[in-house]
Amino acid sequence: MIKKNDIITLEITDISSDGNGVGKYEGMAVFVPMSAVGDICKVKILKVLSSYSFGKIEEIITPSIDRIESFCPNFSKCGGCDFLHISYDAEKRAKTIFVKNCFERIGKIDVPVNDTLSCDKVHRYRNKAQFPVRKSENNKAITGFFAQRSHRIIPCSNCLLQPELLNEISDFIVTRMNELGIKAYDEEKFTGLIRHIYLRYGEKTNQLMVCLVSTKKKVWNIETLVKDLVKKYPMIKTVVLNINDKNTNIILGEENIILYGDSHIQDILCDVSITLSPHSFYQVNRDGAEKLYTIAKDALKLNKDDILLDLYCGAGTIGLSMANCVKTLVGVEIIPQAIENAKENAKTNNINNARFICSDAGQAAEKLINEGFTPTAIVLDPARKGCDEVALNAVIKMSPSRIAMISCNPSTAARDCKYLAENGYKVEFIQPFDMFPRTKHVETVVLLSKGEIDSKKVRVEFSLEDMDMSGFQNDATYGQIKERVLQQSGLKVSSLYIAQVKQKHGIIERENYNKPKSENARQPKCPLEKKWRLRKH
């Protein structure tokens, strides 16, 4: 029986979604950080639970062929990276397996998972940096990154995930803070001023935002710091003092004070100009985001007749990148500042077919249903917790022909896709994408389409009295109507059904077109959900 402090010989045969290698010893799974599939190691057991245990490498007896020498001196100390000890090809293979396992085990979905794709940058890809600032033992300000599962700062002047410029600016700010006597935050005593340095960089525009997070509005010598900063780094367009006086792990407070510039910067994503404020959501890997959004856009096969709903839209970046392909775009986001950014982004880019709603995704979707809004395609880009059931039920009720889900959590993506699959949708393909190389995180694009529906199992609510039948007054042929309904809803309708609906609403058909051959003959009646679709064409 395995016990704490035992030293065992273990072969690593798998890797978990949190980046730990996994081996089996006497039938028990042992999770070992910084190990690679194929390693044979001596492992010290640190913790034993009922069905699994945790250990650490004491000695590598035989290294894996995937193992490489880490080029970061802080790897294993800092909590930023997970896979600097294995090749990038091995990392992508692992992420494909993460996604595959989730969709098989959680989603019960038997669809091949494509190999993980990535952008060209494996390092220096982040356009946002958040450096904690704390008081050191000698009362000096220091910055770096938190060690794993702690608030102990590991000094790091050259993080390889971030552009050298961001690392350099962070070091300059801390150096000047110490020279000017600006106090760093003391988390234990809840004293001091500057608690975070928060940087955003527009790669296409070469514009940079500096946001200093402070416990108070008045900071001694802050004007001198800002003056020195913008003189040395002329690409800085704005400097913001963000006030966070709460004893919390949340980085940003609600109030911003503009110290320099006009509070925001611009960047360009998928040919759309994006306005970024401190609170704006923006993918930290710009090049990766362009590829990710293009995958979703191509999967949806959008056209100028499509009505696109972008749930969890953030600052509107996904929907706006697709707006020129569709008739109408509606975006929904619960964060007010993000919605204001989305509206401003639409205005800046002269996008006039977009509307943005500030609301919870599920509530907004229900409201849109009540308005008679019927999207033909939906993009879902939820947070890590995934979609709530209200939102999913609303999506099902709106019955779009195509759904593209972009998820940063394959577990919740698999769960939500399973729910959609149980309610009439088919998963067409699953594409993992590595937005965050050298970390355990992976994005996934899933395309779902509306399958053929058994009309006896579908409940559709509508009023015949409220129907607008003006659309029938055109000269659309029966073949055109059939094709249109199939394209937008996945429903097949017959000429008889079209004739029945037209006759019901006073659109005259030629004599005897839809009459039975005899008085006693019975004809199939057009199902309700097909009537609902036909009246729109």
Distances (CA, A) of 360 to 143, 245, 365, 391, 394: 36, 27, 8, 9, 12
pLDDT score of 273 more than 50: yes
Which residue do the tokens 């992976």 mark? 442
As a three-state string, the secondary structure of 369-409 is HHCCCCCCEEEECCCCCCCCHHHHHHHHHHCCCEEEEEECC
Specify which of 68-82, 417-431, 516-530 reaches the highest per-range mean pLDDT.
417-431
Instruction: Please report how many Cα atoms fall inside a 13 Å half-sphere around the Cα of residue 392, on the Cβ side.
Output: 20
Please state the length of the chain: 537
Mean pLDDT in residue range 182-189: 91
- Look over the chain and give the mean of its residue pLDDT values, rounded to a whole number: 87
| Dist. CA 316–CA 291, nearest whole Å | 16
Single-letter code of the amino acid located at 284: V
Q: Does residue 141 sit in helix, strand or coil?
A: strand
Which range has the worst mean pLDDT, 155-169, 226-240, 443-457? Answer: 443-457
Q: Is 531 exposed, middle or buried (0-12, 13-18, 19+ CB in 10 A)?
A: buried
Q: What is the pLDDT of residues 84-94, one digit of tens each?
A: 999 999 999 99
Single-letter code of the amino acid located at 518: S
| Dist. CA 109–CA 105, nearest whole Å | 8
Token pair listed for 24: 């089996």
| Dist. CA 32–CA 46, nearest whole Å | 10
pLDDT score of 460 more than 50: no
pLDDT score of 419 more than 60: yes
| Annotated active-site residue in 72, 156, 270, 408 | 408
pLDDT score of 222 more than 70: yes
Distances (CA, A) of 146 to 151, 193, 248, 421, 524: 5, 18, 15, 41, 68
Mean pLDDT in residue range 451-466: 40
Which residue do the tokens 């790091």 mark? 156
- pLDDT for the residue numbered 527: 52
Higher pLDDT, 168 or 146: 168
pLDDT score of 463 more than 50: no
> Whose CA is closest to 411, among 79, 21, 15, 100?
100
Single-letter code of the amino acid located at 458: V
Which residue do the tokens 């679709």 mark? 533
- pLDDT for the residue numbered 526: 57
Q: What is the pLDDT of residues 499-508, one digit of tens each?
A: 666 665 455 4
- pLDDT for the residue numbered 509: 46
pTM above 0.85, yes or no: no
Q: Quick one: pLDDT band at residue 358, thresholds 50, 70, 90?
A: very high
Mean pLDDT in residue range 328-336: 92
Q: Quick one: pLDDT band at residue 514, thresholds 50, 70, 90?
A: very low
81 flagged as catalytic: no
Q: What is the pLDDT of residues 53-107, one digit of tens each?
A: 999 999 999 999 999 998 888 887 887 889 999 999 999 999 999 999 999 999 9
Going by their DSSP bridges, the two strands 14-15 and 21-25 should be labelled as antiparallel
Q: Does residue 52 sit in helix, strand or coil?
A: strand
Element at 481 (helix H, strand E)? helix 478-489
Contact 482, 474 (CB under 8 A): no
Contact 353, 327 (CB under 8 A): yes
Q: What are the DSSP E strand ranges found in 71-193? A: 117-118, 128-135, 141-146, 153-155
Contact 383, 312 (CB under 8 A): yes
The one-character DSSP state at 471 is: G
Across the beta sheet with 52-62, what order do the strands follow?
Answer: 7-11, 40-48, 52-62, 28-32, 21-25, 14-15
Element at 236 (helix H, strand E)? strand 236-243
- pLDDT for the residue numbered 38: 97
pLDDT score of 511 more than 50: no
DSSP line for 244-277 = --SSSS-S--SEEEEEETTS-EEEEETTEEEEE-
Q: Does residue 452 sit in helix, strand or coil?
A: coil
Contact 394, 370 (CB under 8 A): no
Higher pLDDT, 3 or 488: 3
Single-letter code of the amino acid located at 527: P
Which range has the worst mean pLDDT, 198-207, 213-222, 479-488? Answer: 479-488
